Amino acid sequence: MAETVPADERARVPVVTVLASMAGLWLCYFLLTTLRAAIVGFEPQVELLWRRGLVTLVGIGMTVLLWIILRLFDNRPLWAKILAAVLVAVPIAVPIAQTNQWIFADMQRKVEENFGRDRGINIRRDEAGNLLVDIPPERFRDLTGLGVSKDAAGAPASVMIAPAPSRLDQWLQVVDIALGRYFLLLAWASLYFAMLAGAQARAAERREERFRSAAKAAELRSLRYQVNPHFLFNTLNSLSSLVMTGKADRAETMIQSIASFYRHSLAEDPTSDVPLEDEFELQRQYLAIESVRFPDRLEAVFDLPTDLAEARVPGMILQPLVENSVRYAVAPHKVPVTIRIAAREDYGRLAITVEDDGPGAPSSAGQGFGIGLANVRDRLQARFGREASVTSGPVEGGYLTEIRIPLVKHG
């Protein structure tokens, strides 16, 4: 079953482009025939010009009619388009040829008269359309041997040099002219099909780009939504521990912080970028929640230069990294741990680091640490491709993860 293209997505050649192509083609016809007439020496040129211009206008009009019909085949196979052009151009070419013959009919008589006048003889057509030449009296004596006789009054008779064209002859002339216009129409149809193929290729590229964008947005949403359940699971566990140990005040503070955090994070489009200062503020809220669990051993430090506050980053891109620091550096140990989140510009790129001075991710951390880091990598890959990078590993005195992405300061 053939695939149907929605009407609003069908490729069309702009009307202005179509009309310009017609005008250009027929202008070439006008200039070439005018040049040919000038070389051959047809006279009078002024009268030929306006007649030729009128034929050109009729040709443009008939080409418009051809285009209207060919548009019906825009989304058909190429063989159907070619067949339509070959067949439809025939009845379109005939009226152009008939118009040409009608407009230049009286010019034929003038050309014949001018030809005879230049040679000192009188060439004319009689009522039946026969082409005659009148022999001057002083030359009649030279032509008596050729079978030319005088009439009853003694005057020389005219000589017929060409019989009147028959109906068949007239139609053959029309066919001869029509053949030339037919191939001119086919040339324009070929140009139109080429322009249409280009428009269809561009439309296919636009559809492909929309599909890629939709798939990319779906991937970003999926990766972003992986963050929220993981964070919610951890915070609810922490809240449960506070309630069960009778720390109601701290549990209430944590609930308020959680509400503020989710109000902020869920209000954003999962596929959109956010200002870096908003991302830092979100992590402040998160670490405020965690500080209720670890009031004596969690300290947060934020370093955001003022000129980078409006830099754009994917929303909640730092969340898995900060969670990893809390989970593996703060939670398992009793010593104070400082988590430092910093940003800097590095050779035109934005570098963001999440660092802690705890023991980092131990070998027994299992898949949890890797899942959070993989999520960040996947999101950056979906958003920036090869222009983004993530490096992570232990450093002297702790553990550090660095994100490097293009620096963009506007949405």
CATH at 376: 3.30.565.10
Residue 411 within any structural domain of the chain: no
Residue 114 within any structural domain of the chain: no
Q: Is 181 within 8 Å of 275 (Cβ atoms)?
A: no
Q: How confident is the model at residue 366 (pLDDT cuts 50, 70, 90)?
A: very low
- Portion of the chain with pLDDT greater than 70, in percent: 70
Q: How many other CB atoms sit within 10 Å of the CB of residue 335?
A: 10
Name the nearest CA neighbour of 355 among 300, 284, 409: 300
Interval 139-148 mean pLDDT:
51
Model pLDDT, residue 110:
65
Residues 271 and 385 in one domain: yes
Residue 232 within any structural domain of the chain: no
Residues 64 and 197 in one domain: yes
Q: Is the pLDDT of residue 360 over 90?
A: no
Interval 321-336 mean pLDDT:
87
Choosing from 207, 236, 265, the residue where a domain stops is: 207
Q: How many other CB atoms sit within 10 Å of the CB of residue 281?
A: 15
Residues 304 and 175 in one domain: no
Residue 122 within any structural domain of the chain: no
Residues 325 and 374 in one domain: yes
Q: Could you tell me the residue range of the domain that residue 39 belongs to?
A: 7-107+167-207
Residues 303 and 352 in one domain: yes
Which structure tokens are listed for 396? 């002297």
Element (H, E) at 21: helix 15-40
Which structure tokens are listed for 233? 């699971």
pLDDT in tens, 289-309: 788 778 888 999 999 999 999
Which structure tokens are listed for 120? 């000192």
Element (H, E) at 287: helix 276-293
Residues 138 and 198 in one domain: no
Q: How many other CB atoms sit within 10 Å of the CB of residue 109?
A: 13
The CB-side HSE value for 106 (13 A sphere, CA atoms) comes to: 4
Residue 379 within any structural domain of the chain: yes
Domains identified in the chain, total number: 3
Q: Cα(380)–Cα(354) distance, rounded to whole angstroms?
A: 16
Q: Cα(351)–Cα(342) distance, rounded to whole angstroms?
A: 8
The 8-class DSSP code of residue 328 comes to I
Residue 214 within any structural domain of the chain: no
The 8-class DSSP code of residue 317 comes to S
Residues 138 and 65 in one domain: no
pLDDT in tens, 381-410: 878 888 999 999 898 888 999 999 999 886
Q: Is the pLDDT of residue 4 over 60?
A: no
Exposure of 200 by Cβ count < 10 A (0-12 exposed, 13-18 middle, 19+ buried)? middle
Q: Is 232 within 8 Å of 251 (Cβ atoms)?
A: no
Q: Is 184 within 8 Å of 10 (Cβ atoms)?
A: no
Q: Is 275 within 8 Å of 307 (Cβ atoms)?
A: no
Angle between helices 368-384 and 167-244 (to 10 degrees): 150
Residues 88 and 185 in one domain: yes
Residues 154 and 69 in one domain: no
Q: Characterize 120-143 residue by residue with b for buried, 16 or more Cβ atoms within 10 angstroms of its Cβ, and e for exposed.
A: eeebebeeeeebbbebeeeeeeee
286 or 9: which leads in pLDDT: 286
Residues 153 and 43 in one domain: no
